[in-house]
């Protein structure tokens, strides 16, 4: 497999980046119902991404960063890791993609920019996407047992509850299967983008198509599958895919520097699921670490949708 890469998002033409207060994707998956009905916003849960980094002082993100000790004091140890040396001491984003996906998970500036599914959760991050597969693997290891900035003194008690990974490569490769299985075994929920190679069948990307990954396709605001969204069957099991789909078309979220942007892609869909996992753990802490049960909850409560397409002999009806 060539080095994995970002699932490049699609920029929305004419985007003004004006807020909807609660963004449409957050509302579509009914996160606000959880906030108001149960009084739960993600408090007590920790979400993470392995991506292009995060602008940690973005107004919608800085208050939710686990390394923010208050009063302008930050401790990045165990909360940020960069195996490449691009920004080894503080979280930074040299692309924008990671800041965007993080915003969809937990972002909220306390005002009109309610962009995140679980704004009460904390976040940590690792730079890994995508100079090399080695960097990606090191970033996974950090999530299983976070370390200080130098990569020393691992502490598994500081691992996140859910890890979003909006990147991939050609389907059918299992080079990341071992580390994804290790994430699951350690209790970290692995949310992956399905890929942007639709609309034909059999286009799921790796490692989202791996048996231990939970991969997410993209839907539009009218609850149709996005044309670009990759779909199954899985090359390993032959089962339908992706596991679920979530809002991924025209998703507005945080972007460097201190701005907002609307992007489309399964990269934007997967963090909606990661944020939902953070909400579930916040609502019922006994679900922490019980990855299979969380997956089953997501599958059983997803809204059934149909299409006219047949993939792998399974009709879209």
Catalytic sites, residue numbers = 51, 97, 267
User: Which one, of 11, 27, 16, 294, lies nearest residue 163 by Cα?
Assistant: 294
Please tell me what DSSP assigns to residue 64. G
For 123, the enclosing helix (H) or strand (E) is: strand 122-127
Cα 254 to Cα 248: distance, rounded to the nearest angstrom: 15
CB 272 within 8 A of CB 25: yes
3-state secondary structure of 8: coil
DSSP string, 225-273: B-TT------TTT---S-SEEEE-SSEEEEETTTEEEEEESHHHHHHHH
Q: How many CA atoms lie within 13 A of 26 on its CB side?
A: 27
Distance CA 48, CA 36 (A): 24
- Containing H/E element for 276? helix 266-283
**For the residues of 26-55, what is the DSSP string, one character each?**
HHHTTHHHHHHHH--SSTT-EEEEEESB--
Q: Strand, coil or helix: what is 159?
A: coil
Among 222, 287, 274, smallest CA distance to 244 is for: 274
């Amino acid at each position: 497999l060539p080095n994995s890469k970002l699932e490049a998002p699609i920029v929305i033409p004419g985007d003004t980046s004006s807020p909807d207060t609660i963004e449409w994707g957050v509302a579509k998956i009914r996160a606000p119902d959880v906030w108001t009905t149960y009084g739960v916003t993600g408090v007590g849960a920790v979400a993470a991404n392995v991506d292009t980094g995060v602008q940690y002082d973005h107004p919608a993100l800085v208050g939710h960063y686990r390394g923010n000790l208050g009063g302008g004091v930050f401790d990045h140890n165990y909360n940020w890791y960069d195996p490449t040396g691009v920004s080894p001491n503080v979280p930074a984003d040299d692309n924008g993609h990671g800041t965007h996906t993080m915003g969809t998970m937990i972002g909220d500036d306390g005002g009109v920019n309610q962009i995140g599914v679980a704004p009460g959760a904390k976040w940590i991050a690792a730079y890994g996407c995508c100079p090399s597969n080695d960097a990606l693997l090191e970033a996974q290891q950090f999530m299983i047992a976070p370390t200080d900035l130098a990569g020393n003194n691992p502490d598994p008690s500081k691992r996140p509850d859910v890890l979003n990974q909006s990147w991939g490569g050609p389907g059918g490769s299992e080079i990341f299967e071992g580390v994804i299985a290790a994430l699951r075994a350690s209790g970290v929920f692995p949310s992956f983008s399905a890929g942007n190679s639709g609309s034909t069948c059999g286009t799921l990307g790796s490692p989202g198509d791996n048996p231990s990954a939970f991969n997410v396709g993209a839907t539009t605001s009218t609850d149709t599958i996005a044309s670009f969204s990759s779909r199954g069957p899985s090359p390993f099991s032959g089962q339908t895919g992706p596991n679920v789909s979530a809002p991924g078309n025209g998703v507005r979220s945080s972007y460097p520097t201190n701005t907002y942007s609307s992007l489309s892609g399964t990269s934007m869909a997967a963090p909606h699921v990661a944020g939902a996992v953070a909400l579930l753990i916040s609502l019922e802490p006994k679900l922490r670490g019980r990855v299979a049960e969380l997956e089953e909850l997501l599958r059983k409560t997803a809204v059934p949708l149909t299409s006219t397409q047949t993939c792998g002999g399974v009709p879209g009806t």
